[in-house]
Amino acid sequence: MQRRHVSFAAIALSLCAGTAFAQTKWDLPAAYPATNFHSENLIQFAKDVEAATAGKLKISVHANASLFKANEIKRAVQGGQAQIGEVLLVNFENENPIFGTDGIPFLATSYADSKRLYDAQKPVLDKLLAGQGMKLLYAVAWPSQGIFAKKEINSVADLRGIKWRAYSPATGKIAELIGAQPVTIQAAELSQALATGVIESYMSSGSTGYDTKTYESLKYFYDTQAWLPKNAVIVNKKAFDALDPTTQAALTKSASEAEARGWKVSAEKDVYYKKALADKGMKVVTPSPKLMQDMKQVGGIMLSDWQKRAGPDGEAIIAAYNQSEKSASKAKK
Ligand code: PCA
């Protein structure tokens, strides 16, 4: 019901604005808190678009899953209930393995590698989204993923049987492989799940650890730097095509600026939030070699499983990724 009210209001507003000059109003649902760096970047992006189009395109950001739940945003954009939205790509791996490329543990663990993986993934992602009537505007990586835990862990055996929060098919799969009990919970409900003891461990970034006040419930953060999943801003193709060419150009230009800004801020936050968690009393720990070895074994299983499912498209991505590594290391010499 709530949702319908919002769209009626949006239509009413755009009709009023139409008397002055043709203004297009878009809703942008997002799943993370307004203070999260992705959300702040979205708000800056919306401001930039409004300025660049002299108010012709106005994007309203609805943070914290207030308009649609994290897993509903993609379908809302596809169906046109929202013209534009921000999604966590790896959440849609069950729909197509290509969406899960950046959720494979230890495939790309630095910002530079994640960027190369994104470049390799992008042509396939563009094709996939185009087939679903959508278009990718930009994508930004989260900081690297580590393990939040209640107790000290020295190997994955120490995680056996614990209640493990998953946010994606892959983080659920990790639980299965290490013998933990997965419970799927999106970021907007994570604080409560922690406070009520529904979960006692999970993998994510220091950013989400901080946003959700995980330090109030869990004591340890193991800095495994396992992968950097991406948020992507996607737009409904019909809504995009309905814009005049100048507005389209302003939108894509602001999007590529948001992408560059987002990656830079993410890397800064990766460092900042680990320190902030430590300041809040968490133990931010370099994992033991045994824990790393165990986690890398999990990553190896998940990579070969993904390759089987992702077929020729997956092969093309991995080949392009490996090729760019060769060129990058050659350029360094
Ligand atoms: N935060 C999001 C996804 C990845 C991340 O770092 C979350 O935990 O839901």
- Mind listing the pLDDT tens digit for each residue in 112-124? 999 999 999 999 9
E strand residue ranges, the chain:
24-29, 57-62, 84-88, 134-141, 146-149, 163-166, 181-184, 201-204, 220-222, 230-236, 283-285
Give the pLDDT confidence score for residue 20 in this predicted structure: 55
Confidence of residue 18 (pLDDT cuts 50, 70, 90): very low
Q: What average pLDDT does the segment 68-84 reach?
A: 98
Mean of pLDDT values over 155-163: 98
User: Per residue in 209-256, pLDDT tens?
Assistant: 999 999 999 999 999 999 999 999 999 999 999 999 999 999 999 999
Q: Which of 68, 85, 65, 63 is nearest to 4 (CA)?
A: 68
Write down the pLDDT at residue 326: 84
Q: Which atom of ligand 1 is nearest to the CA of 145?
A: 6
249-253's contacts with Cβ under 8 Å and 24+ in sequence apart are 250/49, 250/52, 250/53, 250/57, 251/49, 251/52, 251/53, 251/57, 251/137, 252/137, 253/52
Query: Residue 72's pLDDT band (boundaries 50, 70, 90)?
Result: very high
How close is the Cα of 32 to the center of ligand 1, in Å?
A: 9
Residue 10 above 60 pLDDT? no
Mean pLDDT of all residues in the chain?
94
Summarised one tens digit per residue, pLDDT across range 86-136 is 999 999 999 999 999 999 999 999 999 999 999 999 999 999 999 999 999
Region of poorest pLDDT, from 12-16, 34-38, 51-55: 12-16
User: Which residue has its alpha carbon closest to ligand 1 atom 8?
Assistant: 204
Q: Rounded CA gap, 32 and 269, in Å? A: 15
Which residues does a 6 A CB cutoff place in the pocket of ligand 1? 88, 142, 167, 187, 204-205, 207-208, 229
Give the position, in ligand 1's atom list, of the atom nearest the Cα of 207: 6
Distance 141 CA to ligand 1 centre (A): 10
Q: What is the pLDDT of residues 173-185, one digit of tens each?
A: 999 999 999 999 9
To the nearest whole percent, how much of the chain has pLDDT over 90?
A: 91
Look at residue 4 and tell me whether its pLDDT is greater than 50: no
Residue whose CA is at the smallest distance from ligand 1 atom 9:
187
Share of the chain above pLDDT 70, in %: 93
Model pLDDT, residue 330? 76
